Amino acid sequence: MRERIYLGRLEELIKNYQFNLPLSIYLRQEFNKRRNMGSRDRKRTREDIFNYFRIGKNYPDMTIPERVAIGSYICNNTRSAELDYIISNHSPFQPEEIPQSLESKLNHIKAELPQFDIEKIFPAVNQISNGINKEKFLNSFLIQPRLWIRVRKNFKNELLTELKEKEIPYENSEYSSLAFSFKNGSPVHTLDCYLNGAFEIQDLNSQKCAEKILPASTEYWWDACCGSGGKSLAILDQAPGLNLTVSDIRESTLQNLKLRVKKTGQKIARTLILDLNTSSPELPGMFDGIIADVPCSGSGTWARSPELLSSFSEQSLFDKFIPLQRNIVRNLTNALKPQKCLYYITCSVFKVENEENIAYFEKNLGLKCKSSEYLEGSDKGADSMFFAILEKME
């Protein structure tokens, strides 16, 4: 009885989702209306609905319970009474198979339901850059990403002590002694050392991008699309005396950054609300370095937002994102001193937002690409990002 009620609730929540909000926010709002749901129910429901969307556009003619069964069969490795019921009644698979490896379960899927196509998980597959390992990337959508943090240099022991006291499992990254990862949903935001500014929640490859940006403390820099400021905070840790201006079009994200800065005790020279997509924005000066983590499709992060696998329109790349990115970089170039560098960053795997934009910048904006690379997160439970260093020639 309980299992049927659980499945009915899943079906209702999926049917009512209209893609007008991020799935995580929609579910949070719906859970707040259902005060009788305990934390376990909310967690299980969230995971199973995310898994429904993780299979992308495979099996479009199946019922919601059938797609939930297949998505959760592939993406879960832990059994529950609810999951056993769904898989037993709405798929050709057995609950005993749930703990098997992803490779084994995909082989079962292909044998029983041969219409499955890994490339149907992801929209605009033809736009994925050759710099991305496509097979690893597509398979990564069937695995829950990790939650990453960056601990500040002098606070690592404090963090380790509290993690041990609170019995929160973690992994220390082999790529950085200051990067730690946790199972998604781990309550790291409740830790005292987080509230005291000892660490920031920041994806692994965002941390790696920041490590590649090396300003001198005496210079003037601009983080032009700063968002909530993860890279700004990391760079200020590297160069404490840096004169850093930050800007974003969204006041709410800048307010969030101000709170984070206050918590860490760092200093930002100027904080500006600025729309860089206009023809002649009022630029805040001339700079020794500019960070342009530009708005993009976010395709390298969709494992965290799997609803976008079903709703993304490839045409939006050409109608929205590419013109926006080119306008922003064109305007930023006017604020960059000659022979200084602009750091172009996206969390996209699409070549049109990355390599093809770099070629456009070189041809039209007087910039020369010194280096570019993809930071792949597929096998690390992290986001995939693109990072390029562009020098102004004039």
Domain-terminating residue out of 121, 154, 170: 121
One domain for residues 228 and 90 = no
Is residue 194, in this structure, part of any structural domain at all?
A: no
Q: Is the pLDDT of residue 394 over 80?
A: no
Is residue 76, in this structure, part of any structural domain at all?
A: yes
Domain of residue 222, CATH code: 3.40.50.150
Residue pLDDT, tens place only, 338-355: 999 999 999 999 999 999
60 CB neighbour count, 10 Å cutoff = 10
Domain-terminating residue out of 93, 121, 149: 121
Q: Is the pLDDT of residue 279 over 90?
A: no
Query: Alpha-carbon distance 311 to 326, whole Å?
Result: 24
Query: Alpha-carbon distance 368 to 165, whole Å?
Result: 51
Residue pLDDT, tens place only, 155-192: 999 999 999 999 999 999 988 889 999 999 899 999 99
Q: Say what percent of the chain tops pLDDT 90.
A: 89
The residue that leads in pLDDT, 265 or 13, is 13
Give the number of C-alpha atoms closer than 13 A to the C-alpha of residue 335, restricted to the C-beta side: 24
Contacts of 231 by beta carbon, 8 Å cutoff, 6+ apart: 206, 209, 210, 213, 223, 291, 293, 345
Residue 183's pLDDT is 93
CB 168 within 8 A of CB 188: yes
CA 74 to chain centre: 22
- Three-class secondary structure of residue 182 per DSSP: strand
One domain for residues 213 and 362 = yes
Q: Is the pLDDT of residue 286 over 80?
A: yes
Residue 264's pLDDT is 85
Residue 86's pLDDT is 96
Say which range, 46-55, 198-207, 273-282, has the weakest mean pLDDT.
273-282
Domain-terminating residue out of 121, 139, 168: 121
Query: Alpha-carbon distance 140 to 144, whole Å?
Result: 8
35 CB neighbour count, 10 Å cutoff = 7
> Predicted confidence band at 220 (pLDDT cuts at 50, 70, 90)?
very high
188 CB neighbour count, 10 Å cutoff = 21
Is residue 371, in this structure, part of any structural domain at all?
A: yes
Residue pLDDT, tens place only, 91-149: 999 999 999 999 999 999 999 999 999 999 999 999 999 999 999 999 999 999 999 99
> Predicted confidence band at 372 (pLDDT cuts at 50, 70, 90)?
very high
Q: Is the pLDDT of residue 360 over 80?
A: yes
Element (DSSP H or E) covering residue 22: none
One domain for residues 345 and 208 = yes
Domain total for the chain? 2
Is residue 164, in this structure, part of any structural domain at all?
A: no
- Three-class secondary structure of residue 377 per DSSP: coil
One domain for residues 369 and 269 = yes
Q: Stretch 282-288: mean pLDDT, rounded?
A: 93
Is residue 85, in this structure, part of any structural domain at all?
A: yes
Residue pLDDT, tens place only, 241-258: 899 999 999 999 999 999
Residue 11's pLDDT is 97
Residue 175's pLDDT is 85
Residue 177's pLDDT is 87
Q: What is the chain's mean pLDDT, rounded?
A: 95
Give me the DSSP letters along 121-132. Answer: SSTTGGGB-TTS
Range of the domain at 111: 2-121
Is residue 318, in this structure, part of any structural domain at all?
A: yes
One domain for residues 236 and 378 = yes
Query: Alpha-carbon distance 237 to 213, whole Å?
Result: 12
One domain for residues 114 and 207 = no
Q: Stretch 326-338: mean pLDDT, rounded?
A: 97
Residue 355's pLDDT is 99
**DSSP collapsed to 3 states, 290-347:** EEEECCCCCHHHCCCCCCHHHHCCCHHHHHHHHHHHHHHHHHHHCCEEEEEEEEEEEC
Tell me the sheet residues that pair with 273. Answer: 248
One domain for residues 116 and 251 = no
Residue 24's pLDDT is 96
CB 20 within 8 A of CB 308: no
Sheet holding 270-273, edge to edge: 270-273, 243-248, 220-223, 287-293, 336-346, 385-392, 367-375
Q: Is the pLDDT of residue 266 over 90?
A: no
The burial class, CB within 10 Å (0-12 / 13-18 / 19+), for 217 is exposed
Q: Stretch 26-47: mean pLDDT, rounded?
A: 93
Is residue 188, in this structure, part of any structural domain at all?
A: no
One domain for residues 241 and 354 = yes
Please report where in the chains the tokens 């707040």 appear, as a residue. Answer: 32
One domain for residues 210 and 81 = no
Query: Alpha-carbon distance 369 to 341, whole Å?
Result: 9
> Predicted confidence band at 228 (pLDDT cuts at 50, 70, 90)?
confident
